[in-house]
């Protein structure tokens, strides 16, 4: 059946109809007073979602663009960077930094684990000469479904004095993330996740300390240039021609987010993530997250039952039940599948997802008590 | 009246309804076979529009992003760059190069003039030690409505041995531009112009010689990285999460362009540009282009009649006739207004535009023979 597909990948995520329709209009001129008024609202609302008084820069680019925008405005060749790596996206910070000429030290953990803040403290305490200029980390690791304790880690980085650079691509607008309160120096995110719009926009905010480090950056990016882009935010404008239609969609989505309320959005994600995991476990499947206390509420990484392959699960889920779930990435390919519950996702979707997963596993010959997953979801949601 | 606005700015340009509606669908997964099949078509069709056998990289970014992608993958600090500047966008090449640490020499001409190829030859002939690694130029200068003779200039650069880097943002898909035949080394363009889709995608192709220079680039951009992006093009994929909906729109637009045929598209723009200028002159207004032989067929920069202000013309055009025309940029602000005839623009639109301009000037008290502009347009179109 056409047009039935429902995305439960970690992004792009489902987009509300009102957002899609608001985007389906002729672009308006990006230097018009009408667009400038829209930008003013968008910039103000983004500050709320980021939990910051800093200006939030918006780039016409994907989340990786905002990550590049962070590093390429801070790093000079030869600078020392500490990268906390719990999966692919943590590794991406390290790679971007190396591309810019940084000397990168990695603190890496096994897939499914979070960073232990004590380990970070040990490394930074040993850095008595304050050689590390920057520490990069991932709030919510999309490749493993693990959420780092950013609040604690950032407080340790703050004590050391390095600039903390945090990937909030799959956390902002889904999981609690409070830039100013937690003392995050640079925070980036993307549009096709918690923000419920199609991919193409990404966001970055920087603290005063980060701006001071930026001042020392010799050859910052032109397109992603912080100064140029901040000037435009203050002028309710954009530095370059923006993806006008995506901005219109973003404005619609931000209104929806305001109506629901940020705390309620976080609570919805917590509830749904918890219920999804309850369903998965009730069927007898294992989570990749070694400890449920750091299992992500926006992305759940699941090991298939023995003897049943990830590609088969994905194929039946897609062909028979029109739900797209993601494979693992790189080393985790065919070892796990990932379900996103991120953005425009409801309790009903969680029941649907576990119901379809049950039907899929049943077809593939896995033996379990039919209905046990859905029952666990319903019970968890009712708590 | 709502929803009546017609954009005649140099971008964003009008978008066909079929493109808008194709974009108003739920995003599909960017790692799906369905999206990969779409990418394959898009990448092949872009080669045709570029007139090249080189892979065309697509960035989720505006045109300036593709310009940054060109320079940040070629230049090392201290490299010598020659920038041919006939307006703001020529100057942008120089600024991007300087941001990357290049030593830039500018060959600059008065607003409304094109680059004289002989001047370029003189400078490059004098560079006996081949110090210039790169020469940047603009095909169609959006800020002044002037088209450079890229074919001749590029042949001179080729003889010298430098890499030619050409801004084709407002020329590709509108004016004849043949990358391989003319020997252009790096050619960039953007989606919201001749390609008839909203802003948010931009394009870059590079010759073998440019790829060789890229190999020597020490700290190329990560997001715009040529290698990473080319690998993805060859795999019918994208390096990062792309603006899925804009790709879907692009595919629809490229089908339309194929149906019309590239030569026919060029001829349509030539006809419309010529007719628009005929109308403007018949009313008694002057073009900024000093010589009509290099006046752009996609953007026409016009001086207002004496005693009538550019803001007034723009205001009446917009409020009373729902046509948005652009002001001049920087030094040319309030000195000229600019009309785009770029992309999804027809003969009818040209008649409309000059008709509305006549009505506007009449309201503002300018004395001229009413109907003379439209008559000239009709005559020119009939030729």
> Which among B12, B24, B101 has the least Cβ separation from residue A244?
B12
Q: What is the pLDDT of residues B92-109, one digit of tens each?
A: 999 999 999 999 999 999
Q: How many CB atoms lie within 10 A of CB A34?
A: 10
Q: What is the pLDDT of residues A160-179, one digit of tens each?
A: 999 999 999 999 999 999 99
- Confidence grade of residue A362 (pLDDT, cut at 50, 70, 90): very high
Nearest residue of B to residue A327, measured between CA atoms: B31
Phi, psi of B190 (to 5 degrees): -135, 160
Alpha helices in A100-243 (DSSP H): 117-126, 150-160, 179-182, 208-215, 226-234
Cis peptide before B12 (omega within 30 of 0): yes
Report whether A173 contacts A189 (CB < 8 A).
Answer: yes
Nearest residue of B to residue A241, measured between CA atoms: B62
Nearest residue of A to residue B322, measured between CA atoms: A28
CA B19 to each of CA A20, A127, A248, B238: distance values in angstroms, whole numbers, following the listed order: 13, 55, 17, 21
Between CA B120 and CA A262 the distance in angstroms is 58
The percent of residues in chain B predicted with pLDDT above 90, rounded, is 98
Taking alpha carbons only, the member of A202, A219, A160, A222 closest to residue A185 is A160
- Is A4 in the B-facing interface, judged by CB distances under 8 Å? no
Q: Which residues are A141's β-sheet partners? A: A146
Whether B91 has a pLDDT exceeding 90, the answer reads: yes
Q: What is the pLDDT of residues A296-305, one digit of tens each?
A: 999 999 999 9
Q: Which residues of B touch A21 (CB under 8 A)?
A: 24
Between CA A100 and CA B5 the distance in angstroms is 44
Taking alpha carbons only, the member of B36, B24, B14 closest to residue B272 is B14
**Residues B244, A11: C-beta atoms closer than 8 Å:** no
**Residues A62, B241: C-beta atoms closer than 8 Å:** yes
The percent of residues in chain B predicted with pLDDT above 70, rounded, is 100
Q: For residue B275, give how far its alpha carbon lies from the nearest alpha carbon of chain A (Å).
A: 24
CA A329 to each of CA A87, A144, A246, A359: distance values in angstroms, whole numbers, following the listed order: 9, 9, 28, 25
Q: For residue B159, give how far its alpha carbon lies from the nearest alpha carbon of chain A (Å).
A: 30
Q: How many CB atoms lie within 10 A of CB A330?
A: 11
Pairing of strands B80-85, B103-108: parallel
Under DSSP, the state recorded for B267 is H
The percent of residues in chain A predicted with pLDDT above 90, rounded, is 98
Report whether B280 contacts B350 (CB < 8 A).
Answer: no
Taking alpha carbons only, the member of B268, B138, B160, B270 closest to residue B209 is B160
Residue A320: predicted pLDDT: 96
Q: What is the mean pLDDT of residues A102-118?
A: 98
> Which among A15, A24, A220 has the least Cβ separation from residue B21?
A24
Structure tokens at A13: 């995520």
Q: Tokens 């652009």 belong to which residue?
A: B326
- Is A20 in the B-facing interface, judged by CB distances under 8 Å? yes
Structure tokens at A70: 């962070």
To the nearest whole number, what is the mean pLDDT of chain B? Answer: 97
Residue B1: predicted pLDDT: 77
Q: Which residues of A touch B192 (CB under 8 A)?
A: 27, 241, 244
Count of residues making up chain A: 383
**Residues A199, B244: C-beta atoms closer than 8 Å:** yes
Which overall architecture, per CATH, does domain A17-259 show? 3-Layer(aba) Sandwich (3.40)
Fold of B6-12+261-382: 3.90.1150
- Is B18 in the A-facing interface, judged by CB distances under 8 Å? no
- Is B225 in the A-facing interface, judged by CB distances under 8 Å? yes
**Residues B68, A223: C-beta atoms closer than 8 Å:** yes
Residue A251: predicted pLDDT: 98
To the nearest whole number, what is the mean pLDDT of chain A? Answer: 97
Q: How many CB atoms lie within 10 A of CB A267?
A: 14
Q: Tokens 């050859």 belong to which residue?
A: A219
Q: What is the pLDDT of residues A213-268, one digit of tens each?
A: 999 999 999 999 999 999 999 999 999 999 999 999 999 999 999 999 999 999 99
SS3 content of chain A, % helix, strand, coil (to 5): 45, 15, 40
Between CA A180 and CA A191 the distance in angstroms is 21
| Total-model pTM | 0.96
Structure tokens at B118: 């002989």
Q: Tokens 């970014």 belong to which residue?
A: B61
**Residues B20, A25: C-beta atoms closer than 8 Å:** yes
Between CA A203 and CA A182 the distance in angstroms is 18
**Residues A7, B24: C-beta atoms closer than 8 Å:** no
Q: What is the pLDDT of residues B55-86, one digit of tens each?
A: 999 999 999 999 999 999 999 999 999 999 99
CA angle at B143 for the pair B142 and B146, rounded to the nearest 5°: 65
Q: How many CB atoms lie within 10 A of CB A319?
A: 9
Interface test with B, best of A62, A83, A333 (most B CBs within 10 A): A62
Q: Which residues of A touch B31 (CB under 8 A)?
A: 9, 326
Judged by DSSP in three states, A160 sits in helix
**Residues A222, B3: C-beta atoms closer than 8 Å:** no
Per DSSP (E only), the strands in chain B are 6-7, 56-60, 80-85, 103-108, 132-138, 140-141, 146-147, 163-167, 186-190, 201-206, 286-287, 299-303, 323-324, 326-327, 337-340
Q: Is the dihedral of CA B170, B176, B181, B182 positive or negative?
A: negative
Between CA A66 and CA A62 the distance in angstroms is 7
Nearest residue of B to residue A15, measured between CA atoms: B26
- Is B11 in the A-facing interface, judged by CB distances under 8 Å? yes
Interface test with A, best of B199, B330, B342 (most A CBs within 10 A): B199
Between CA B81 and CA B105 the distance in angstroms is 6
Taking alpha carbons only, the member of A323, A273, A327 closest to residue A298 is A273
- Is A242 in the B-facing interface, judged by CB distances under 8 Å? yes
Between CA B130 and CA A47 the distance in angstroms is 50
Whether A2 has a pLDDT exceeding 90, the answer reads: no
- Confidence grade of residue A327 (pLDDT, cut at 50, 70, 90): very high
Q: For residue A72, give how far its alpha carbon lies from the nearest alpha carbon of chain B (Å).
A: 8
**Residues B63, A218: C-beta atoms closer than 8 Å:** no
Q: How many CB atoms lie within 10 A of CB B70?
A: 29
Structure tokens at A258: 């305001």
Between CA B309 and CA B37 the distance in angstroms is 51
Between CA A327 and CA B29 the distance in angstroms is 12
Within 21-50 of B, beta carbons closer than 8 Å to A belong to: 21, 23-32
> Which among A14, A77, A221 has the least Cβ separation from residue B221?
A221
Between CA A318 and CA B34 the distance in angstroms is 12
Between CA A170 and CA A194 the distance in angstroms is 7
- Is B68 in the A-facing interface, judged by CB distances under 8 Å? yes
Structure tokens at A123: 């490394």
Domain map (residue ranges) of chain A = 6-12+261-382, 17-259
Q: What is the pLDDT of residues B5-48, one digit of tens each?
A: 999 999 899 999 999 999 999 999 999 999 999 999 999 999 99
Q: For residue A315, give how far its alpha carbon lies from the nearest alpha carbon of chain B (Å).
A: 11
As a whole number of angstroms, the longest Cα–Cα distance in chain B is: 63
Q: For residue B379, give how far its alpha carbon lies from the nearest alpha carbon of chain A (Å).
A: 31
Q: What is the pLDDT of residues B237-254, one digit of tens each?
A: 999 999 999 999 999 999
Cβ contacts of B267 within 8 Å, gap of 6 or more: none
Q: Is the dihedral of CA B230, B236, B241, B244 positive or negative?
A: positive
- Confidence grade of residue A3 (pLDDT, cut at 50, 70, 90): confident
Under DSSP, the state recorded for A58 is E
- For the CA atoms of chain A, what is the radius of gyration? 21
Query: How far from the centroid of its chain's Cα atoms is residue B291's Cα?
Result: 20
Between CA B45 and CA B56 the distance in angstroms is 10
**Residues A26, B14: C-beta atoms closer than 8 Å:** yes
Query: How far from the centroid of its chain's Cα atoms is residue A55's Cα?
Result: 20
**Residues B241, A100: C-beta atoms closer than 8 Å:** no
Q: Which residues of B touch A14 (CB under 8 A)?
A: 26
CA B296 to each of CA B113, B195, B271, B299: distance values in angstroms, whole numbers, following the listed order: 11, 17, 11, 6
- Is A16 in the B-facing interface, judged by CB distances under 8 Å? no
- Is B328 in the A-facing interface, judged by CB distances under 8 Å? no
């Amino acid at each position: 059946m056409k047009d039935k597909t429902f995305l439960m990948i970690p992004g792009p995520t489902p987009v509300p109809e009102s957002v899609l329709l608001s985007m389906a209009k002729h672009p308006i001129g990006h230097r018009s007073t009408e667009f400038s008024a829209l930008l003013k609202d968008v910039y103000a609302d983004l500050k709320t979602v980021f939990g910051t008084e800093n200006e939030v820069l918006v780039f016409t680019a994907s989340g990786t663009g905002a990550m590049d925008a962070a590093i390429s405005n801070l790093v000079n060749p030869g600078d020392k960077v500490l990268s906390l790596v719990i999966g692919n996206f943590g590794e991406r910070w390290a790679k971007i930094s190396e591309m810019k000429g940084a000397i990168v030290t990695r603190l890496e953990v096994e897939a499914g684990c979070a960073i232990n803040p004590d380990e970070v403290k040990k490394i930074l305490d040993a850095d008595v000469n304050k050689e590390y200029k920057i520490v990069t980390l991932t709030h919510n690791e999309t490749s493993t479904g693990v959420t780092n304790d950013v609040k604690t880690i950032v407080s340790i980085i703050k004590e050391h004095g390095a600039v903390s650079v945090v990937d909030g691509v799959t956390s902002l607008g889904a999981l609690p993330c409070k830039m100013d309160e937690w003392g995050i120096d640079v925070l980036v995110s993307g549009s096709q996740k918690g923000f419920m719009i199609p991919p193409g926009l990404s966001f970055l905010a920087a603290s005063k300390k980060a701006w001071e480090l930026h001042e020392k950056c010799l050859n910052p990016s032109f397109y992603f240039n912080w100064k140029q882009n901040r000037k435009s935010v203050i002028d309710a404008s954009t530095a370059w021609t923006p993806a006008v239609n995506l901005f219109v969609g973003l404005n619609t989505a931000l209104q929806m987010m305001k109506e629901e309320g940020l705390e309620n959005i976080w609570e919805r994600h917590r509830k749904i993530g918890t219920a999804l995991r309850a369903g998965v476990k009730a069927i007898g499947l294992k989570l990749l997250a070694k400890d449920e206390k750091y299992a992500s509420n926006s992305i759940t990484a699941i090991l298939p039952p023995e003897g049943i392959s990830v590609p088969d699960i994905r194929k039946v889920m897609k062909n028979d039940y029109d739900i797209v779930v993601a494979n693992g990435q790189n080393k985790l390919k065919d070892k796990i599948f990932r379900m996103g519950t991120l953005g425009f996702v409801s309790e009903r979707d969680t029941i649907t997802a576990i119901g379809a997963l049950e039907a899929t596993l049943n077809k593939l010959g896995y033996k379990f008590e039919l209905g046990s997953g859905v029952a666990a979801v319903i019970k968890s949601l009712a708590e």
